[in-house]
Amino acid sequence: MDCIYCECGKTEKRFLTLERKEWVPTDEVKRELEELLTKENFYADYITFSGNGEPTLHSRFGEIARFIKELRPDLKLALLTNASTLHLDEVLENLEPFDLISPSLDAVSESVFKKVNHPAKGLTVEKILEGLDKLKKTFKGQIWLETLFVKGINDSPEEVELIGREVHRLKPDRWQLNTVVRPPAYNVKGLTEEELLAIARRVNYPKTDIVCYNYLRLEDIKPLRMEELESKLLETVKRRPSPLEELEVSLNINRETLEELIEKLQREGKIEITTFGGKKFATVKLRNPDVQKKERI
């Protein structure tokens, strides 16, 4: 998909795909995970499969999940998915290690689905709903269905009514409402909290959450050296644009130290600051587009 709200930027049409293969070297992912998970006193609420792209398009994502469970059976696994592959038995068979799956359902009518998600050729709402049905029947863990609303695109009363019917039919453990709160791929806007509340009341699903604008709460983080802070900040913003407030919390530093670090990285041309919705976000400094294009080719 090339979702119009994606914080990772646009996906060119020629790169849209339904092909499942080993997009990232499995051994490299395992090595990084083992290095992290075997650290003394390491703990996380969840190890989450996400990232720049649909994680279930990786043909060996299930193997990686099982590797984590074998290494650290005490840790929970979560999967964030756009639900594009859940109709495939080969994907469903690899979901057993996960404790929580959060699939997306941003539209139910085909026309709105195409507007908000810009799917690869051959991917339809029918396949998305088929996959969600199969997930509900076969998955034994928690299902938190997410809908991300975009102003003027999928928030009409008619579309909300259609989405609401599917939510009540699927009966997920949670229905989570989200909206555009990070710099989006396209020039679109999010809904206000009041507008999301109105949608929640209209649908009236008893297990509904409004999840946007919340930040992670990390406790008992040991202070890091400046070199470690720099590395962790770059690793974070490389994956997605991050609000300065969120970086303060995740790095466990005050604003003065954060700004000092950001100024250094800006001088070195490694990151840049953008503003969206009145908030400042740190993002990776984009290189020459022509160079990036040649690399892709």
Inform me whether the pLDDT recorded for 295 exceeds 50.
Answer: no
Residues 6 or more apart whose CB falls under 8 angstroms from that of 203 comprise 160, 163, 164, 167, 168, 175
Which residue would you say has higher pLDDT here, 132 or 269? 132
What is the radius of gyration, based on Cα positions, of the chain? Answer: 20
pTM: 0.75
Give start-end residues of each CATH 3.20.20.70 domain in the chain.
13-210
DSSP-based helix, strand, coil % in the chain, nearest 5: 40, 15, 45
Residues of the chain with CATH 1.10.10.10: 226-296
Contact call for residues 42 and 220 (beta carbons, < 8 A): no
The pLDDT mean for the chain works out to 88
DSSP code at position 55: G
> Looking at residue 285, what is its pLDDT?
74
Choose between 77 and 294: higher pLDDT. 77
Distance CA 223, CA 13 (A): 43
What is the per-residue pLDDT for 7?
85
Letter for the amino acid at 72?
R
- The H-assigned helical ranges of 25-156 are 26-37, 61-71, 89-92, 110-117, 125-138
Q: Could you tell me which CATH number the domain at 226-296 has?
A: 1.10.10.10
Does 104 have pLDDT greater than 70? yes
Q: How far apart are CA 140 and CA 213, in angstroms?
A: 30
Q: Are 88 and 128 in contact (CB under 8 A)?
A: no
Maximum average pLDDT range among 57-71, 213-227, 255-269: 57-71
Tokens 């199969």 belong to 134
CATH number of 13-210: 3.20.20.70
